[in-house]
Chains A and B, each alone.
Chain A
Amino acid sequence: MRVLIVIIGVVFFYSCNTDKKDSLASKSFVQAKEIQLANPKIEVDHVIIDGSSLMTASLRLDNADIFYTVDGSEPTQESKQYKETIVVSTPEKYTFRAFHEDFKPSETETVIFYKKGIDVDRLSIISTLNEQYPGQGTRTLVNHKKGSLNFRDGQWIGVTEPFIAEIDFKKNIVLESLDIGYLVNTDAWIFPIEDITIKISTDGGGFESLSVDISDNKITQGSISLENIHIPVLKELNKIRIEISNTSSIPEWHQGRDNPAWLFMDEWIFNTKNN
């Protein structure tokens, strides 16, 4: 019992030395631990790979570290640490996240690399292009170039009505899959694809419809992202007709509610075994 009394005495003595001034001074100010890091800044040569591409990640803040994965999982501090420029030569999905001992970890930043698709000589746009955002015309969607987050960079076609185009491959091919790239920027009234219809022809005449599943894309106010829909096809064909609908009615939480949204697409990638 005597030992216990001594311990209590010592603890009581030290507790009186607490720097009350510091703790009071801290009360009204934001604490570092309440604040989240911004996402790492990712810079990429190009995301359609025809050879290799260089990628860098940075967050120029002292003692911030960046970790990444290539399997789509959320990076932790046990993941691979980013230290130098990454040379990417195969299609992969890279996910980055920044960490710092004083702050909450950042959200993730993802970059998807695509294999270059087959060359498309002839794409006919059947619907009407919007005069404001025609991109580079009929080549925009098949020029092997992805757009940036800047929807005015010339790599995007923007429409407010359903977009319809037909591609004539001039010969029979086995199309394994199709990637359709689009942009989300809700502040600019740019919303995801609402519906896709694909029709294929093997003889250039009658068309057969393929079903396409579009997962419900949850978006929130202020969303900005480069998105992609991957559509497995695995069919032999020589013509394909693709009809894509924009979001016909903007959700209620947005200032443009009930109006049709903009749809911005940058690239259609046609994947065969040979590309």
Chain B
Amino acid sequence: MNRRNFLHKSVCVSAGMLTLPMYSGAYRFDTSKDLIIGHNTHQYKVDMSWGNLNASEVPVNDCHEIIQDSKGRIVLLTNHIKNNIIIYDKSGKLIETWGTDYPGAHGLTLSVENGEDFLFITDYERHQVIKTTIDGKVVMTLDYPADSGKYKNKGEFKPTETTVLENGDFYVADGYGNQFISHYNHKGELLNVFGGKGTENDQFLNAHGICLDQRDKDNPVLLITAREQNVLKRFSLQGEFLSSIAVPGALICRPVIHKDEIYFAVLKSKGSTHDASGFLLIMNNKNEVVSCPGATKPIYKNDKLSELYQTIKLFQHPHDVCIDEDDNVYVAQWNSGQTYPIKLTRI
């Protein structure tokens, strides 16, 4: 190789190296593709970094439930007794924490009374329901409904969820205990008990979640999940069974109503060989499944929903969802390796 050729080749190599970044940009070798989950009108991009905190300062164990308070803040409930409640702003920035007395913290429900926010926490290890102010002052503690005759001792009462009516009445779902739904007035006086463990229409296997459905203002009803049975059950406020909505394959946790739709975290896919097989499920105003982020597209054949199951390993054990005014979804997960909530941005 003579000197002229050597210099020519050297210049070419150097030019190639120098222009590589421009070349890459020009021809877009980048194969990035945002993950989009969900179906039909409800599709989302996924942000795993939302709300991540320093685990040595603000740790979590199981993140059981998540709600939005009247100020628009996102309130997370975990069973880590260093900080059972973690409050974020919508950007995921930590605002405050409180709570060290709820080892079995499971259910979290917002109740707005005369413009003031209160929280109902169910604790299945304490076998109690606790009502607090939004900053953690306890205003009511409820033990198991001994007078109902449905329980031999407090150990049989492992409440998982509550829902509150506008008049202050509230219902407690005993999803990990004897599976009864207890109805109380605002003072905590027992009014009614219904349900119980079993496979009849008005009974439950894992009455895990409950919410008030007043989408039809004239006919408010209760929606109660029978998680092990993959069924959502509708009851009157008096505790009469009305109807069932089957969601084959989906272990639905609690119903969350946002606008005209019902959202669910699905703990796992029934029959999956992989345990961390959860996903989300969304029903429209007719209680038809329209989207299953992380799972199979909902298909109805002869009015019967085909079995749903996880298709991508994104979620582990989703346990609750919260939906903000922009229709973004925040997902709290159980048994996920102490992870913080996942945010889904609606597209």
Contacts and interface: CB of A to CB of B under 8 A. Distances in A.
Contact of A26 (B11, B34, B276, B311): B34
Contacts of A150: 271
Contacts of A60: 296-297, 309, 311
B46 interface: yes
B273 A30 contact: no
Contacts of A148: 271
A253 interface: no
B15 A8 contact: yes
B276 A222 contact: yes
A38 B312 contact: yes
Given A150-B271, A222-B276, A14 B26 contact: yes
Interface string A29-45: 11111111111010000
Contact of B313 (A12, A23, A36): A36
Contacts of B1: none
Contact of A28 (B15, B26, B47, B311): B47
B34 A32 contact: yes
Contact of A109 (B36, B273, B277, B313): B273
Contacts of B28: 18
B114 interface: no
Nearest to B48: A30
A109 B273 CA distance: 8
A38 B26 contact: no
Contacts of B27: 14
Contacts of A31: 32-35
Interface in A243-257: none
Given A1-B11, A15-B26, A187-B275, A37 B34 contact: no
B23 A29 contact: no
Interface string B200-228: 00000000000000000000000000000
A11 B47 contact: no
A11 B45 contact: no
B84 to A, nearest CB: 20
Nearest to B249: A41
Interface string B78-93: 0000000000000000
Given A61-B312, A109-B273, A29 B30 contact: no
Given A4-B15, A11-B22, A64-B311, A32 B33 contact: yes
Contacts of A225: 273
Contacts of A222: 274-276
Interface string A49-63: 000000000011100
Q: How large is the interface on B (under 10, 10 to 19, 20 to 34, 35 or more residues)?
A: 35 or more
Nearest to A22: B32
Nearest to B309: A41
A183 B4 CA distance: 74
A182 to B, nearest CB: 15
A103 to B, nearest CB: 6
A30 B34 contact: yes
Contacts of B314: 30, 35
Nearest to B271: A149
A38 B35 contact: no
Nearest to B36: A32
A17 interface: yes
Contacts of A39: 272-274
A12 B22 contact: yes
Contact of A102 (B12, B22, B33): B33
B31 interface: yes
A149 B274 CA distance: 10
A8 B19 contact: yes
A8 B19 CA distance: 7
Contacts of B345: 29
A194 interface: no
Interface in B89-126: none
A216 B23 CA distance: 53
Nearest to A35: B312
B30 A33 contact: no
Interface of B: 11-12, 15, 19, 21-23, 25-28, 30-36, 45-49, 271-277, 296-297, 309-314, 345
**Nearest 3 Cβ contacts at the A-B interface:** A14-B26, A15-B22, A30-B46
23 contacts: A8-B15, A11-B22, A12-B19, A15-B26, A18-B25, A26-B32, A28-B49, A29-B345, A31-B32, A33-B31, A35-B314, A36-B312, A38-B277, A38-B310, A38-B311, A60-B311, A61-B311, A61-B312, A148-B271, A149-B273, A150-B271, A222-B275, A224-B274
